[in-house]
Structure 1
Amino acid sequence: MNIFMAKQSLRNRLISIFILTSTVPLLFVGIFLSYNTIRLIRENTRTLTQQNLKQIDDNMNLLLDSYKDLVYQIYTVDDVVGWMESLNEGEDEAVTTNQLRRYMNALLYSKAGIGAITVISDSGRMVTTHTLNAATYENPWLSQFHLDQKTLYDTVSRENDYYIFPTEYATNFAGEDHYLFHIAHRIIDYRDLKKQCGIVIVSLDEDLLHSVLYMEEEEQEGRSCNLLIDQNGRIISGLDESWIGETLSGSSGMQDEKALVDEIRTFLKEREIKSPAQYDVYTFTDRKLEWVIVNAINRLNFWQEVRRSLLIIGAVWLLLLGITIYLLRRQTDKLVSSVHTVTDAMKEAGSGDLSVQIPIEESLPIEIETVANEFNDTLRKLSVSRQKEKEAAQNRQKAELKALEAQINPHFLYNTLDTINWMAIDREEYDISNAINSLAFILRYAISDYDGEVMVRDEVEWLKRYVYLQQYRMKNKFHCDIHVSPEVQDWKIHKLLLQPFVENAILHGFRYAQEEYLLEIVFSQEEGRLKIRITDNGAGFDTSVVDRIMRGEPAPEDEKGHIGLENAILRFDMYTDGRGILKIDSHLGEGTTVEMEFPEADE
C-alpha cells in the first residue's frame, strides 16, 4: 500500500483526495436529499389529496342540499298535500293528476340534471314526469330499481327525513344508457304531521356526481381517477360510466380502509386504462351518507418523473466532476493549499455546519474561487431553504390547528341541536323539533361564508326560518307576509343584510300588547333594480331618532330600542359602493317602513 501511494504523482494524489473528501460525501448528500425530497413529495401529495377529497365531499353535500331544497318545495306545499288527499280519496283523479303533473313539469326544468320527478300516494297512485324518453307520463326507472313500489313507499314514509338512494341504471333512450340517483321525502301535512299523504322522489342524473368528482382536475387516462362508492361497496360514479353498479369483491363501503384500498387497486388493475401500473389509493368517508370518495394516482408516472430527474442530476454531477478533475490536473501546483482550504470547509459542512464559508482570497486560482463561490452559495441556499422549510412546517401546523378549532365548536353545536331535536321527536314535541331544525338551519347559514353573496331565494328561505322562530318565541303575536317577484329569485345580495331590519321590526316594533301585528317583506324589480321593502305596524320611532340613525351616529347609552341599524346601514353602503338607496320612514305608534334599492349588477 505504501509503495502504491509512493508511486502516485502529486497530481493524481490530489485528484484522489478531492474525490474522497468532496465528491463521495456530496454523492451521499445527493442520495439523502433525493430520498428526502421523494418522501416530502409523497407526504405533500397525501396531504393535498386528502384536502381535495374533503373539498369534493363538501361540494357534493352542497349539491345534494341544493336539490333537497327542491324536494322541500314539493313536500311542504299545501296544494301538493291537497292533490295527494284527492288521489288517496279517489276524487277527480284525472283533473288532480293533470294539476300535479303541471306543477311537477314546472320544477323539472328549474335546475340542471333533473331526470324525473315522481310522487306516490298512500293509496298507491303514482304520478311522474321526466325527460328520459318519449313516454313522459310513464315512470322510466322504477322497473329497474332494486326496490318495488310498495317497499320504496314504506321505506321513505317510515321517517320524516330525506332518503338518498345511490346511483342505479334507469333506462336506455336514443341508444344512450341513463343512470340516476334519487332524493326522496315523505309529503307532510302540517295540519296533521302523522298523516300519511304520500312520498316525492326527485331523480338526478349521475353526471352531477361525476362533475363534482372531477371539478378541479381533468380526466387523464392512466394517471389518476376518482370513484364514489356506496355503503354496500357499489360504484355509483367514476371515471367510466360502465363501472357504475359494479361491486368490489367482498367489499363493504365502510369496511377496514386497508382492505378497501387493496380491492380498489385490484379493480383498477383488472380494468387497466393504458399500461400496467401500481396505484396509490386515498379514501375519504362521508359518515352521514356512508359513501366513500376514492382518489387513485398512478404511481408509475410519479417514479418515471423521479427517475428522469435523478438521471439529469447524475449526468450533471458527472459532467462537473470531469471538469473539476481536468482543472485540477492543469493547476496542480497552485491548487495544493487551495484544495486543503476547500476540503476543510467541506468536512465542516459534512458534519452539519451549514454556516461555514470558504474565504475568497486573491491567491486563490480562478477555478478554486469558482468552486468556493458555488459552494458558499449552495450552503447559503441550503440554510435559507432549511429555515423556510421550518417556518412553513410551523405555519402549516398553526393553520391546521386553527382549522380544527374553527370546526369543533360548530360541529359540537349542530350535533347537540340534533340530539335535542330527536329528544323532542321522541316526546312528540313537533313544534319544538321544528324550532330546533330552524335554529340549526339559521346557525349553519349564518356561520358559513358570512360576508358571501347568495341568491334572493336562499335569503328568503333563511328569513322564513328566522321569522318562524320569532313567531314561535312570541307565541304567534304577529303575522308575516313575504312576497317575492319571480324575476328577482336568482338575483344576488349579501347574506344576512336584511336580518337587523327584520329583527328590529319584531323586537322593537312588536314589544307592546296589541290585537294583531303585521310584518310585510316585499322583493320586487323596478326599472332594472332590485327593491326590498320591510313594513311593520308596530311602535315606530320618533323622527329625531330616524335622522340620527341615518346619519350613522351611535345611540346614547340611555336610549334603547333599535337593533344595530347603524352597522346595517354601513354594510349596505359598503356592499353597494354608495350606489344603493336606503330610506327609513317611521312614526311613533304607526309603524316603520324600510326601503332598499340595489344598483344593477353591471352598473
Structure 2
Amino acid sequence: MLLKLKNYFLRLSIKYKILILFYSIIVVTSLVLALFSYTISTNQLKEEVGNLLLRDTKRIAASIDFLQRDVNELSSFLFLDQRVQNFISPRPDFTKYSLEPLASLLASKDYISFIMLYSFQGDKYYFSNDNSTGVADFYELKSTDFFKQIIKNKGAPIWLSLNSLPFTLIAKNNYPKIAMARLLLDFNTYEPAGVLIICINIPTIEKIYMEDLKEKEACFFIADSNNRIISLESTTPQFTATFAQKLLNENILSRENEIITANSSKLLITSSYIPTSNWRLVSIVSLENAINAIRNSFVLLYIRVLILCLIFAFIISMYFSSMLTAPLQKLVSSMKKVRQGNFREQVNIDPHASDEIAILVCEYNNMVEKINQLINKVLKLEIHKKEAELKALEAQINPHFLYNTLDTIFWKAEKSHDSEISEMIYSLSRLFRLTLNRGSEFIQVKGEKELIEHYLFLQSKRYKNKLQYSIEIDPEILDHYIPKLILQPFVENAIVHGMENSTTPTFIQITGEKEGENLCFTIKDNGIGMSKMQLDRIKDLLESGKEATFGYAIKNVNERLKLYYETHFKLNIQSQPGQGTEVKLILPIDYISVES
C-alpha cells in the first residue's frame, strides 16, 4: 500500500507535489498545535471544573448548615418557652393542651417534620408535620447510648440520622429523618429535666442539591463524623452507597478537591464541611462528562479554523506552485528538444531571478553549450587515445630490456662465484617482474608474498643485522587475487620509519589468513611507533579527500582500495610510541573481477 502511494506521488507533477506537501505541513502543524492546545486546555478545564464543583458543594453545604443553625436557634427558643418548662417541670394547672400553640410555630417552619418532648418524669409529647405518629417511651430512650450522649453534651445540640439509632424512636415514620437533640434544664433547679428532639425529613435536605444533579452523571451524599452515610442521591448506577462507603473507608476524601480513577474512568470528588453538625457534604462527578461539553466546543472551533486554513492554503499553494513550476516546464520542453539532437536550444528566464530554479536553468544552458563544445572535441580525444595506446605498447619494450640486462649481470656474477651479488640481482629482477606484473593491476596472494620476500631480502642485505622479518601466509589463500602492491608500501614504511633512531634490531611480522568471507593481512613491527597526533594525522589523511603532503604511499594504497572495493574493505592502523605499529587490512574475497 505504501509502495503504491509512493509511486503515485512520484508520478505527480511538481505543482501537485508542492500542493500536497503544503497541505501536509499545514495539517500536521495544525494537529500538533491542536494536541498541544488540547492538553493545556484539558488541564485547565480539569482545574476550573474542580473549582466550580467545589464552589457548588460549599454553597449547598452552607445551605444545609444554615438550615441546621435555624433548627438550633428554634430549639433554644423552645428551651426558654414557659410552656415547655411547665411540661418538663409539671405544675398543678398544666395540661398537654397548653402546648398546642406551638403547633403554629411548627407550621411556619415547613422544613421541620417532627418535634418530640420528653420529661424526666416519663411524660412525652410530639408534633408531626408529615403524618408520622408514635414515639418511644422515655424509659426506653433513657437506656440507650443516644440518651447518654445527650446528657454528656450538657444541653449542646447534637445531630444524627434516625436510621443510625439501634432502636425505633418514631413508631410510624413515613420518611427517613435527621434529628437535632438536646438536653432541657429546669430553670428553678438548673437540673436536667427533659429532652427536645427536632427532626427534618432527609428528602427536604436532598431537594437542596437535587437541582445540581440535573443533566449530570453525578452523586451527592452526606456523611457524619463517624463516616456513616446519612443521605445519598445519584444519577448513575456507578455511584452507589457501597461505592461511597468505600471512599470513606479508604480516607480518599481527605482533601477538598481530588481526582481518582475508578473502573477505568476519572472521577472528580469534592467535599465541604458542615460545621453545625460536624458532617461533610461530598459530590462525585465524572470528569469526562464534566468537561465534555466544553471540549466538544473546542473541537468544533478547531475544525472550523482548520477548514478555513485549508482553503487559504489551497489558494496560496496553487499560486506559488504555478509560479515555481513555470520555469521548470520550460526546462522540460527544452530537454525534449535536446534529446532530439538540438543542442543549440536555450531556456529564457527572467534575468533578475536568482533562486535555485534560476541557477538550475542557467547551469542547464551552460551544460548544453558545453556539450556542443565537447562534441567538437570528440574526434580529437579519440586521436589522443590511439596515440596513448601506441605509447603504452612502446613502454612495454623497456621492461624487457631491463630484465635482459639484469639477467646478464646475474650470470656474470655467477661465473665470478659471487653468490651474494647474484642472489641480490635475482631478487631485484623478480621484484621488477612482479611489480610490473605484465601490466595487470591484480596479482595472486602468492605473487604479492614473493614480491615482499624479495623486497625484504634486498633490505636485509642493506641493513644487515638491524632488520629481521617473518612472513606467514595461510596456503589456503595463496591463489586468491588482490590488487598488486598493497602490502609492500606498509612494509617499506615499517623499515623506513620504524628503524628511524632505533638502537635495537627491527622485527617485521607479516601474516595473512582467511576470516569468514574476507582476507586478513597484518603487518606488525617493533619500531619506534607513532604518537597519537601522528596517528590522527594519518587517519585524517585516509578519511579525507585532501591531497597528501606526507604518507603518499599509504594514501595511494587507500585510494586504490576504494576504487576496487568501494566501502567493502577495512584499513586499520594502531601504534603507540616505543611500542611499534600494526597495520591490519581486511579485503572481501572474490569481490573484484580480475578479467575487468
The normalised TM-score by structure 1 is: 0.43
- Structure showing greater relative contact order (alpha-carbon pairs closer than 8 Å, 6 or more residues apart): 2
Give the structure with higher Rg (CA).
Answer: 2
The normalised TM-score by structure 2 is: 0.44
